[in-house]
Chains A and B, each alone.
Chain A
Amino acid sequence: MSSLVPKLDLHEIQATVLRQRPAPYFGTHLLFRVDDTESGRKFLRRLTPHVDSAAGWWSAADPWLAVGITYAGFQALGVPQDSLQSFPESFRDGMAARARQLGDEGVNDPKHWDLPYGKGELHIGVSAFSDSEANRRRILGIARKQFEGFSGVSILAMQDFGAQPGDLNPLGYKDGIDQPAVEGSGVEPLPGQGRPIKAGEFILGYPGESGVPLPMPQPDILGRNGTYLGFRKYQSRVGAFNRFLRAHGNTDEERELLAAKLVGRWRSGAPLTLAPDVDDPALGADPKRNNDFNYANDQRGRQAPFGCHMRRMNPRDTELSRLTDVNLHRIIRRGTTYGPPYDPNALSQEDDEIPRGAIFQFISAKAMATIEFLQQEWINDGNFIGAGDERDPIIGLQPDGATYTIPKEPVRRRVHGIETFNVLRGGEYFFVPSLSALRWLGNLADKSSIEQKER
């Protein structure tokens, strides 16, 4: 039990892996296609000095840039064949091709996705995070300067995010509260975060929960201190969500309790386990208290239903029907909200189509396996908690006639007609290289030939 905690190379790991989103947050996602290998490498060489490391994780007020590269991107950058083959199969396939494993069917099927997702054209993603609109513009300006003025790298999409009053998500909840604690990151765990999880589960090159590092792409300089990021863009059907609340709650109080029962938290972030009957906004706002609980006194789901979003994403000490080590399925989440804020009075079908939702970034050294596990087992199934076929009420894909069960005395309440409230509109798997790996990628070709080209 006296295993040594490895020291993390914080100056090598990208800031976004360990740095929490600031509050409030303002940012932009930029998606690029590399049309020409040399230009792609040049873009990386110019961009890398502006990409932030996790060494300064505590100064979250400073804006930062993060870079991710897809498998198609590595191909476009001319990464050697043996390196390409060293990536896991799911990463090489890309998220759209993994639709079966992810359960992305029906309305979530990649054939309905927004451009440029799912076409194999998405090569490099750059995300700018900041704490103010002025800083967002400044850091975005820096990013833009690195690709403007030369051809060979095309911008496919630009998506601003954040800036919601109270940092609420598109369905009107405070989110992003419960994150896994990463051992050795230097970040003090918050009460209730659970024991720190081995760094190797989130960053390549360090021992994972099994005691050994996870396999990483080769050569070493490319893989070490890197990680994977699953990018999923959701459109929130706010009208459908509000219609559901109104159909099953007669008063504001009833509707808000139902809304809390779906997530496991009141909109303020206060967990039902600590505030079972009425919202407690002060509790919700306090990061030292709002996650400090387990389910020891709620093993029957009377407070937080077994099927609620929060309990599914982190069952903590819930008794599960399958042999499960819950610490193996944790993932770092960086939710980024886009579009107009939640409107409690939006009720129409047109409201469902207003571009508004969240782009989730899920970060883990085995992100593909974890996301596929979560999608199959904890989001689009209820078997693991003895809830039959029921699915996650917030991010699940609901079939016709779906139900949601709320345990209650003397008999449970079963709510009918739950719909898909968040529709998947795009996604991709990215690798988030270390700063050394970014430099290695930028300098892949013979140096003298590049210098000649630049002259």
Chain B
Amino acid sequence: METPRTTQSQTQRARAPKQDQGAQQKIQQMRELFADASAVGKKALENVLKELTTQVSEPPPPIESAGRVGARLGKRSELTIVVPLVPGGAKRLRTFLQLLGGNLSPGATKVGTLHDMRFVFLDNDTRLLFATSFDGDWDTYIDDFIALIPDYLDLMDSAWEGWPGIRNPGAKDYLVKHQITAEGWFVANPELTLAEIDRLKRQGKAVDEFLDKVGG
């Protein structure tokens, strides 16, 4: 059942009784699905059920859509791609990543919006899982990426089967086609962009310096 998605708490309060009913139904569905789960699973469900009931009837704001595909929480978006690799692609990409000791900073730092990225090779190096989370929408800045870091993107993405090249107008469609929206996701501080984190760090340092002076 699809529950109405809203972030307005007033609306949520007005709909509370209905949601309770929905929560009961969802819990019931969980019980049914776990009927043929393992004993460990069944026991675990019973143990967390009380806490779960509260969580389901008073849910936090749901994750939103980050444009065409992908999920968004506050100012943060996630992008998960599973893509087939061309023959030899895994080796090229792995060697490139190892060249950097597997750590993509400082290059990735320059983008200014990337919180994390991970590259995981699957199925005997025939497929790649690429997952990242970042501030805002990625396609807003795609022209900037094309202008400023096209070769880094093509160097990595040329391992992907059918990658048209970042300059190709079809590149966006390619990414959308291979992107899988996360069903669940957690972000501790969804309102904090990287720029905001930097600002808070600077401010914290300034406050400490000030307090050091005052405190002698």
Contacts and interface: CB of A to CB of B under 8 A. Distances in A.
Interface of A: 209-210, 212, 215, 320-325, 328, 369, 372-373, 376-377, 383-384, 386, 388
B135 interface: yes
A328 B198 contact: no
Most buried by B among A323, A324, A372: A323
A383 B111 contact: no
Given A210-B167, A377-B140, A386-B195, A321 B112 contact: yes
A327 to B, nearest CB: 8
A324 B141 contact: yes
The secondary-structure label for the interface of chain A is: loop
A373 B141 CA distance: 8
B168 to A, nearest CB: 10
B147 A321 contact: no
A388 B112 contact: no
Interface string B177-216: 0000000000000000111101100000000000000000
Given A215-B169, A323-B112, A383-B196, 9 more contacts: A210-B143, A321-B112, A321-B195, A322-B144, A323-B113, A323-B144, A325-B144, A325-B148, A383-B193
A210 B142 CA distance: 12
A322 B147 contact: no
B82 interface: no
A383 B199 CA distance: 10
Most buried by A among B110, B144, B199: B144
27 contacts: A210-B143, A210-B167, A212-B167, A215-B169, A321-B112, A321-B194, A321-B198, A322-B113, A322-B135, A323-B110, A323-B144, A323-B149, A324-B141, A325-B147, A325-B148, A328-B147, A369-B143, A372-B140, A376-B136, A376-B137, A377-B136, A377-B140, A383-B135, A383-B196, A384-B195, A386-B196, A386-B198
Interface of B: 75, 110-113, 135-137, 140-141, 143-149, 167, 169, 193-196, 198-199
Contact of B199 (A325, A377, A386): A386
A386 B194 CA distance: 9
Contacts of B198: 321, 386
Contact of B146 (A210, A376, A377, A388): A210
B111 A322 contact: yes
7 tightest A-B CB contacts, nearest first: A321-B195, A322-B112, A325-B147, A323-B111, A325-B144, A328-B143, A383-B195
Contacts of A328: 143-144, 147
Given A373-B140, A386-B199, A323 B193 contact: no
Nearest to B114: A323
A189 B30 CA distance: 68
A384 B136 CA distance: 11
Nearest to A369: B143
B110 A388 contact: no
Contacts of A386: 195-196, 198-199
Nearest to B191: A389
Contacts of A215: 169
Contacts of A212: 167
